[in-house]
Chains A and B, each alone.
Chain A
């Protein structure tokens, strides 16, 4: 008989009691989004992997502070984001997004059919405009639209109030449009 898969709440409860297998299941479940988050905040693939790994280790040590019943993913992503941001700051660089060399969208990260319609030139313009935004604007936009986090999850990951993330997203979109308009691309 195959047992019912454990949900996050049960896995976290077990991990808090020192169950290494339960925590490993959480790592397996969230390592993908943790890596992507770390990359968006650090702007460097090697740093991203280290930051994600460090974040999982720190999160394990901090499980006793985790509020039972609250969602695990945004709590973890906030630790990931802080780790990645600290690495970027230590290296003294800005996070800069880069596009893949291939023209084909990634199936894993392309839930939207219009992805295939986003022309190469437009992709470059959008990426350049994003890279010109202040860090906190770019972080809010990429959490919301690249990681597909809800506004509440974005707020938790960024460590700000939901109301703040709403206004920050709105302002960031305005700035992004202004950047694109400046180039006559909006």
Chain B
């Protein structure tokens, strides 16, 4: 009887009256853009802290346990969580290179070294260029579109090297597998988790770019500097 009673009880629960959330949600989504750059800069500051801490080995365990910022966090762990395998990439909806600027809302940078990408996708916040022949991924976005959605898990063997690209700060992350992409609100599911290869993260004006591939720091910088 209890199950039927529970279903019946639902009718008496003091649920809040249904409200139209759509206008507020739409307004908040539209209003988020101006904050992104500030968040990226703070993330960059966190990465500076990481770089400094990693440059002083004894300081690692003492300093680098957890960074948290308004939904963004960088976490140092002794060992990355076990995974059944690398999740398939989901880079959003395919678009043409010609439509990229209009879709993304900014003029994307293009590489004079790599030429046109083999694939372009838009995931709702980040523009992805895929270069198949050399197995490279480049993403670019305005500000920190991903910041509040991403938790980055770093293990101690990761090297973080501060670099300069076009006079602006960047960071090259290499060595051990070092990033886990976790879904928002701590939802950890295999398909949403992915180990990244070596990554160069840098800023170019208002854009933040991220290059991923099996690259040395020298190769990565050469490619990064070709994006204009």
Q: Footprint of B on A, CB under 8 Å?
A: 13, 15-18, 20, 23-24, 27-28, 31-32, 34-36, 39, 45, 48-49, 52-53, 56-65, 67, 78-79, 82-83, 86, 97-101, 105-106, 108-112, 114-115, 117-118, 122-123, 126-127, 141, 145-148, 159, 173, 176-177, 180
Contact = CB atoms under 8 A, between A and B. Distances in A.
**Dominant secondary structure of chain A at its interface with chain B:** helix
B28 A57 contact: yes
B122 to A, nearest CB: 7
Contacts of B228: none
B7 A16 contact: no
Contacts of A23: 25, 29
Contact of B185 (A20, A82, A123): A82
A27 B123 contact: no
B120 to A, nearest CB: 13
Contacts of A109: 10-11, 13, 15
Given A53-B21, A58-B149, A112-B8, A36 B15 contact: yes
Interface in B179-214: 183-187, 191-192
Interface in B129-167: 145-146, 148-149
A23 B20 CA distance: 14
B185 A83 contact: yes
A58 B187 CA distance: 12
Contact of A177 (B2, B20, B24, B126): B2
B16 A86 contact: no
A180 B211 CA distance: 60
A95 B90 CA distance: 36
Contacts of B191: 67
Given A35-B19, A53-B25, A58 B185 contact: yes
Most chain B Cβ neighbours within 10 Å, of A13, A35, A141, A180: A35
Given A49-B16, A79-B184, A115-B8, A61 B22 contact: no
Interface in B1-44: 2-16, 18-22, 24-26, 28-30, 32
B9 A123 contact: yes
A86 B185 CA distance: 9
A78 B168 CA distance: 39
B124 A63 contact: yes
B117 interface: no
B13 A100 contact: yes
Given A18-B122, A112-B8, A61 B21 contact: no
Contact of A99 (B12, B19, B30, B187): B12
B47 to A, nearest CB: 21
B9 A127 contact: yes
Contacts of A159: 187
Contacts of A118: 5, 8-9, 12
A136 to B, nearest CB: 16
Nearest to A33: B18
Interface string B100-144: 000100000000000000000011111000000000000000000
B35 to A, nearest CB: 12
Contacts of B90: 64-65, 67
A114 B8 contact: yes
